[in-house]
Amino acid sequence: MKKIIITLAAVAAIAFSTVSCGAQDAAKGEEKGASKADVSYAFGVAIGTSLKETGVEMDYAKFVDGIKDVIEKDKPKISMEEAQVAIQSAIMQAMQKIAEKNSAAEAAFMAENGKKAGIVTTDSGLQYEIITQGTGARPLETDTVRVDYVGTFLDGKQFDSSIESGEPAVFPVAMVIPGWVEGIQLMPVGSKYKFYIPSALAYGQQGSQGGIQPNTTLIFEVELLSIEPPADAQ
């Protein structure tokens, strides 16, 4: 929900950071008596997790060659600077493909979803449906609210949930993504709505850290529990 914008350069940095952390964890595993095979696999999992997030297609044989040239020969065929340029270029191309694919999927979904009974489309492009209509006050952008929510992608995969975290989320309305800012203000307290948020009202062409790709449509089922009293009144 937070306003997070990650540049492609930052994505590459995150990948390197995750690999480093994964390597440290694998090394700890070896200290505890893990076999060489187990530790090697742990390195693969750590590196693979970072690579998967970039969307870059790999030639695994060349990938292993690069590792061997550094570890066994200490003489890679390219410098680290050249490697970083190649990685950055590959990430940018992969992200562009993902962005185009997601944009097409979003356009098709929003067009069809908007035709369904009970779906309301606002001027901004936000779509919502009312599951339960409450009778309380509607929050303003300057308010802080308490909500329960579940967030999913178009394929139904869940990526966030206050319910699973064990407690409602409390946040200033103005501090979340535009689709939430608009949608929350439509809801009387006690309501439960379903938001279909186009990427332009979410994380846009950049996506965000935590697995939200560029041009990703987000679906949230939201229950507005209360409007919190001002801090000076608590």
- The topology (CATH level 3) of 109-233 is Chitinase A; domain 3 (3.10.50)
In the chain, which segments carry CATH 3.10.50.40?
Answer: 109-233
Nearest residue to 40 via CA among 3, 67, 12: 67
Asked whether 202 and 179 are in contact (CB, 8 A), the reply is yes
The secondary structure of 39-91, three-state, reads HHHHHHHHHHHHHHHHCCCCCHHHHHHHHHHHHCCCCCCCCHHHHHHHHHHHH
**pLDDT, tens digit, 9 for 90 and up, residues 166-196:** 999 999 999 999 999 999 999 999 999 999 9
Say if residues 1 and 160 touch (Cβ distance below 8 Å): yes
Instruction: Specify the pairing of strand 192-197 against strand 127-132.
Output: antiparallel
pLDDT in tens, 32-68: 578 889 998 998 898 888 888 788 889 999 999 999 9
Phi-psi region of 79 (alpha: psi -120 to 50; beta: other; left: phi over 0): beta
| pTM of the model as a whole | 0.74
